[in-house]
């Protein structure tokens, strides 16, 4: 039997809403940051808690309760706070009223920025800081890599000139603030280093030992990791209080969101300075702790995994699921379109991390997702994923 659009919405979106309530309930992130994370990180028209307010907490609770009765999956059991708000007839907007924090202030001066890495993410981050007026030095493994970053940024700035968003003089000024080096010692005088290298804990910890030796006292050491435990990076330095996450979203020049991730050791002044820095470069910063998935991935990937599981069940086709989600939830992409953009290998790795962190059986990766990865059908980057690309 093919499900209706409303049933597909209920199957996939209700658990996502419930996860968001539990995230807020656990004081992991504020309701404002959870909603901003999904709006600016995924392009959703509304955050999940705002959606619950619109639908009504009682409606969402009742629909989840019906789903829980059917599946017995703990992830479908209405969160306690959802029950409370439904009973009291209150909203998340009311729950958050008066909780707005003051605008963050720089607690230490940031004049010069260092970036480690030469990939697309690192290149975008270099451009973001340079366009915001900061002097930036970036470090790569060879002159070819260094030249590649400069060429990438030059091309991006040239497009902005063509669109008349900046002038040629502005482009020259931005490029003049950027310098590259093959030696990490070039980072000795920067006020903050943003690391954007391979997602490999061994490689990252080696880098952090080196940064701790090279960087001046007080310099902030930030990582763009989306999956590595930031606490472990801090532990290999003599300055764990200065280690923090700055998870930019790709492409960094366009995506507005940065997840600012603190460990138990991160100093409050470091956190506030990084939040102020994000605002200064035109980004929307959301705060959260050092936990697998942070805000966005923790909410997004179980939903994508659930979509694959629904496809496996035969209750709806890929096209039906994608169309239903775009129509009912107003998400910019259906789940299978998004999986192919993100990469099925990336999706599988994140889902495995979430399962290891939270031990929720409902987070077990879908067999079909594992199969796609095993077959090398990773999505757009390989020409085939859930869809086939020319």
Tokens 């086709």 belong to residue: 317
Greatest CA separation for the chain: 64
User: The tokens of 209 are what?
Assistant: 């030992």
- Taking the C-alpha atoms of residue 105 and residue 127, their distance in angstroms, rounded to an integer, is 23
- Taking the C-alpha atoms of residue 33 and residue 30, their distance in angstroms, rounded to an integer, is 5
For 277-326, give the secondary structure using H, E and C.
Answer: HHHHCCCEEEEEECCCCCCHHHHHHHHHHHHHHHHHHCCCCHHHHHHHHH
Same fold for the pair 5-97+295-382 and 112-289: no
pLDDT single digits (tens) 129-182: 999 999 999 999 999 999 999 999 999 999 999 999 999 999 999 999 999 999
Note the CATH number of domain 5-97+295-382.
Answer: 1.10.1040.50
How long is the chain? 390
pTM of the complete model: 0.95
Active site residues: 226, 247, 259, 297
Top CATH class of 112-289 equals alpha beta
**Domain locations in the chain as residue ranges:** 5-97+295-382, 112-289
Sign of CA dihedral 150, 153, 158, 164: negative
Number of other CB atoms surrounding residue 298 within 10 Å? 25
- Asked if omega into 309 is within 30° of 0 (cis), the reply is no
Sign of CA dihedral 152, 154, 157, 158: negative
219 in the Ramachandran plot: left (φ > 0), alpha (ψ -120 to 50) or beta?
beta
- Taking the C-alpha atoms of residue 213 and residue 210, their distance in angstroms, rounded to an integer, is 5
Mean pLDDT per 10-residue segment, the chain (390 residues):
89 97 96 97 97 97 96 95 95 82 92 97 98 98 96 97 96 97 98 96 97 98 93 98 97 96 98 98 97 96 98 96 96 97 94 94 97 97 94
Residue 258, strand partner residues = 248, 285
3-state secondary structure of 205: helix
pLDDT single digits (tens) 5-25: 999 999 999 999 999 999 999
């Amino acid at each position: 039997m093919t499900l209706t659009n409303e049933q597909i919405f209920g199957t996939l979106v209700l658990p996502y809403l419930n996860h968001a309530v539990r995230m807020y309930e656990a004081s992991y992130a504020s309701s404002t940051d959870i909603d901003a994370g999904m709006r600016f990180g995924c392009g959703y028209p509304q955050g999940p808690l705002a959606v619950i307010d619109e639908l009504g907490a009682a409606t969402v609770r009742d629909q989840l309760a019906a789903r829980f009765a059917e599946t017995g999956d703990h992830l479908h059991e209405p969160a306690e706070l959802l029950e409370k708000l439904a009973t009291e007839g209150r909203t998340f907007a009311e729950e958050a009223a008066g909780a707005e924090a003051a605008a963050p202030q720089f607690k230490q001066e940031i004049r010069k920025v260092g970036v480690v890495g030469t990939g697309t993410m690192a290149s975008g981050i270099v451009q973001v800081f340079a366009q915001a007026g900061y002097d930036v030095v970036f470090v790569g493994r060879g002159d070819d890599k260094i030249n590649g970053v400069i060429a990438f940024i030059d091309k991006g700035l040239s497009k902005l000139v063509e669109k008349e968003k900046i002038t040629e003089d502005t482009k020259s000024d931005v490029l003049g603030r950027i310098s590259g080096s093959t030696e990490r010692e070039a980072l000795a005088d920067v006020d903050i280093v943003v690391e954007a290298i391979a997602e490999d804990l061994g490689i990252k910890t080696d880098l952090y030992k080196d940064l701790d030796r090279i960087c001046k006292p007080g310099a902030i050491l930030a990582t763009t990791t989306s999956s590595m435990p930031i606490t472990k990076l801090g532990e290999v330095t003599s300055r764990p209080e200065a280690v923090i996450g700055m998870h930019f979203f790709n492409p960094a020049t366009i995506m507005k969101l940065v997840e600012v991730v603190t460990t138990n050791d991160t100093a409050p002044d470091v956190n506030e300075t990084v939040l102020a820095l994000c605002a200064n470069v035109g980004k929307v910063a959301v705060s959260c702790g050092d936990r697998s998935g942070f805000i966005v991935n923790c909410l997004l990937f179980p939903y994508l995994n659930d979509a694959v599981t629904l496809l496996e069940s035969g209750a709806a086709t890929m096209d039906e699921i994608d169309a239903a989600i775009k129509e009912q939830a107003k998400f910019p992409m259906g789940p299978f379109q998004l999986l192919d953009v993100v990469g099925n290998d990336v999706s599988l790795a994140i889902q495995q991390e979430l399962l290891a962190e939270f031990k929720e059986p409902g987070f077990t990766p879908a067999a079909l997702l594992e199969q796609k990865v095993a077959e090398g059908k990773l999505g757009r980057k390989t020409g085939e994923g859930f869809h086939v690309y020319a």
